[in-house]
Amino acid sequence: MTQHHSLTASLFLLCTLFFSAASFAQIDLSVPMDRYFPYYTAQFTSIPDVARLSSQFDQTDLGVLATQPNMKPFHDSISEQVSSGPLKDRLGITLNDLRNVANGEVAFGTIYPNKELLALALMANISGHSAEANQLVNKVSANVQQKKGRVVRNQVGTALFVQLDFVDDNGKNQKIVYIIDGDLMVVCDNLMIAKLLWQKASNNAAAASVKPIAASAYYQMIKQHSSPKSESFSFVQIDRYAEAVQLLNDKYSAGNLASKSPTDKMKKSGLIGFRAAGGSLQLKPAAGFNRFVKGYIYAPKPWTGSMNMYQLVNVPCPEPPAWISSKISTYTVIQGTPELVYDNIAPFFDAYFGEGEQGVWADVVEGLEQDPMGPQINLKNDLVRYFDGQLIVISQALEPLGVDSECTAYALRVKDVNAIRSALERLFNGDKEILPDKLGQYNIWQCVPKPKKTSSLNLPSASAKKEKPEGPMAHAAIAVENGYLIIASKKEYLAQLLNPTAQPLKDSVGFKRTMAVAKQRCGDSACMWVYSPTENNYRLNYELFKAGKSVESKTMLSRIIKAISGTDSPKTKKTQTVDGSSLPPFDQIKTYFGTSGGFSKMEADGFSFEEFVLSVRQ
């Protein structure tokens, strides 16, 4: 049966299930919930035991720190932000609600059979907490009624169905379905999907015929490369999830509907070869560890198009160059093959920068080489062949700490410094936005973006309002020194890299200890190595919160938290709701932060990866 016919049959079966009056067996929650979520689930996360997850976290260094009375404002604020994410916006519940009602496994996922049945769903074992679950439903129902929404309650056999219909803050109609049946609670924003999950858990024969995600070959591949026992497991079917996320954003935001599918570019570029990803999380899995993540990115060969750029090379852990300081927040080194990147970049460039038109990259290359008014440079012969494939990415917070302190730098190791300098001089010659500059004794290039268009009254013009905000590398500074082409997000950061004063990273005790563990776990062979002293990584976010500026923060961690919580929406009130001024100085708590390390290995059909945080408190 083709995938199209299989999907059609599944939709027909869903309709049959919805209108049937079949009897249901007693729900068996000893069965993992990945047996209940259907095979077209785009994203799935399971927490096998909520109580154990909480208990294990309490034993970590951060868990111990969170119990300190003077840390309560910071802990509560982070918890509130994370809890105010998609679960609350789309299902009416928070993580704190789940802690009160769950007593065993909790699983949630994005289910995407087609556009009409796209749903966000949650299943929870509520054994011993039925009263709390009913209180939760009553609370959510009362909130809906306050918004003049509609609440419909029905008893179907042993199950209570509560359907909520209301208008959200963006003026869009939303629906939430709660089902409580014995020790099971199902929450979903689509009635038909909610009933399917309930019927599968009830061992309904017709529902059981819908293949579960646990039987998916992609899912099994990710599960096989994860830890068998963990505090949580996550799985993403990449192309299906990309489409689902776009549709969900369209559904729940006030923005306009996207005109193109995000997978169109993936297909045209060849990046559709990334099939699935996921892994497991363990907290305090062994002495000396706070956290351990193990997972896999499934990308089976043969690859086509720009997928071949990702043919990375497993190498022994390289020593960081002496100019990289131990004050960095994150350090990542990747080993690739420059010629493969160049030879296969065209489909990617055409799809993502050429608006899908074929030949755009070829025109760029031809123009650079043959245009009499251009640099007349052959990218492959004059530039690419002088890179040896090592890419280093580092980040650091510059003093004094502020909302714009986080800086990033990219460094590509070169075989011939003079050849790279010569090529860049020709490439940038006459460029009005990348200008030659001086940094002490060093010759560098400075990115100077065009000023935004303004009206005669010095106000932003109508066209300027449509311009995208500046990216993090808009003011990048570039140098070819110390055997590397270095591109830093700020000139001030490039100055620090070219004139280091702190202890080199390679001599740091924390780096040596952490990477020794990584080497042991991967056999000292990987295509990507990662290190982070979490004390440095968290300091900036902590200081900004303490100063009441966390909402203004532009750090990567802040952006992740905002994305999870949904507070990155333009409609979100840009104020910090919790006063952090009473928090202790960071130096008093920095002993709770260990070091983080990890690696990724190129495998025959994808990339395995591990990430861990070492404990500083045994």
Candidate from 70-84, 238-252, 420-434 with smallest mean pLDDT: 70-84
Q: Are 208 and 357 within one domain?
A: no
Helix (H, G, I), strand (E, B) or coil at 509: helix
Cβ(457)–Cβ(484) below 8 Å: no
- Of the candidates 525, 91, 519, 166, the residue with the CA atom closest to the CA atom of residue 316: 525
- Of the candidates 332, 218, 228, the residue with the CA atom closest to the CA atom of residue 277: 218
Cβ(47)–Cβ(33) below 8 Å: no
**Helix and strand tally (H, E) in the chain?**
22, 20
Instruction: Give the rounded percent of residues in the chain with a pLDDT score beyond 90.
Output: 69
pLDDT in tens, 320-349: 999 999 999 999 999 999 999 999 999 999
DSSP state of 325: B
Q: How far apart are CA 501 and CA 99, in angstroms?
A: 48
The answer as to whether 133 is a domain residue is yes
Identify which has the larger pLDDT, 221 or 450: 221
- Of the candidates 613, 526, 610, 480, the residue with the CA atom closest to the CA atom of residue 318: 526
**Of the ranges 22-36, 312-326, 533-547, which is most confident?**
312-326
The confidence band for 21, taking pLDDT boundaries of 50, 70 and 90, is very low
pLDDT at 471 over 80: yes
Residues 6+ away with beta carbon under 8 Å from 296: 221, 222, 224, 225, 226, 277, 278, 279, 603, 606, 607, 608, 609
What pLDDT score was predicted for residue 510? 96
| Residue where one domain finishes, among candidates 212, 243, 261 | 212
Q: How far apart are CA 172 and CA 256, in angstroms?
A: 13
Domain membership of residue 436 as a residue range: 347-454+471-490
What pLDDT score was predicted for residue 501? 92
* pLDDT, averaged across the chain: 87
Q: What is the model's pTM?
A: 0.89
- Of the candidates 538, 399, 406, 543, the residue with the CA atom closest to the CA atom of residue 472: 406
The confidence band for 572, taking pLDDT boundaries of 50, 70 and 90, is very low
Residue pointed to by tokens 């690739």: 336
The answer as to whether 583 is a domain residue is no
What pLDDT score was predicted for residue 57? 92
The answer as to whether 159 is a domain residue is yes
| Residue where one domain finishes, among candidates 194, 212, 230 | 212
The answer as to whether 57 is a domain residue is yes
Per DSSP, which regions of 345-500 are E strands? Answer: 387-397, 406-414, 434-439, 442-447, 477-481, 484-488
Kind and range of the H or E element at 64? Answer: helix 61-66
Structure tokens that stand for 537 in this block: 């990584």
Instruction: Work out how many domains the chain is built from and give that number.
Output: 2
How many angstroms separate the Cα of 97 from the Cα of each of 101, 244, 346? 7, 25, 49
Candidate from 440-454, 519-533, 585-599 with smallest mean pLDDT: 440-454
The answer as to whether 433 is a domain residue is yes
What pLDDT score was predicted for residue 557? 55
The answer as to whether 356 is a domain residue is yes
Q: How far apart are CA 213 and CA 197, in angstroms?
A: 12
Instruction: Give the rounded percent of residues in the chain with a pLDDT score beyond 70.
Output: 85
The confidence band for 66, taking pLDDT boundaries of 50, 70 and 90, is confident
Q: Are 207 and 353 within one domain?
A: no
Q: How far apart are CA 570 and CA 573, in angstroms?
A: 8
Residue pointed to by tokens 């060849």: 270
Identify which has the larger pLDDT, 250 or 43: 43
How many angstroms separate the Cα of 285 from the Cα of each of 239, 294, 592, 612? 32, 12, 18, 10
What pLDDT score was predicted for residue 2? 41
The answer as to whether 615 is a domain residue is no
pLDDT at 177 over 90: yes
Structure tokens that stand for 553 in this block: 């923060």
Candidate from 73-87, 503-517, 537-551 with smallest mean pLDDT: 73-87
The answer as to whether 426 is a domain residue is yes
The confidence band for 147, taking pLDDT boundaries of 50, 70 and 90, is confident
Identify which has the larger pLDDT, 314 or 22: 314
* Average of per-residue pLDDT across 509-516: 97
What pLDDT score was predicted for residue 570? 46
Distance of CA 533 to the CA centre of its chain: 20
Instruction: Please provide the distance, in angstroms rounded to a whole number, between the alpha carbons at the two ends of the chain.
Output: 56
* Pairing, β 330-335 against β 232-237: unpaired
Q: How far apart are CA 10 and CA 210, in angstroms?
A: 7
pLDDT at 436 over 50: yes
The confidence band for 581, taking pLDDT boundaries of 50, 70 and 90, is confident
What pLDDT score was predicted for residue 468? 66
Structure tokens that stand for 321 in this block: 């160059």
Kind and range of the H or E element at 338? Answer: helix 338-344
pLDDT at 3 over 60: no
Per DSSP, which regions of 220-329 are E strands? Answer: 232-237, 276-283, 289-298
Give phi and psi for 43, each to the nearest 5. -140, 135
Candidate from 132-146, 311-325, 571-585 with smallest mean pLDDT: 571-585
| Residue where one domain finishes, among candidates 169, 192, 212 | 212
* Average of per-residue pLDDT across 405-434: 96
Candidate from 49-63, 362-376, 566-580 with smallest mean pLDDT: 566-580
Identify which has the larger pLDDT, 170 or 454: 170
pLDDT at 564 over 50: no
What pLDDT score was predicted for residue 75? 72
25-55 in b/e form (b: 16+ CB < 10 A) is eebebeeebbebbbbbbbbbbbbbbbeebee
What pLDDT score was predicted for residue 466? 52
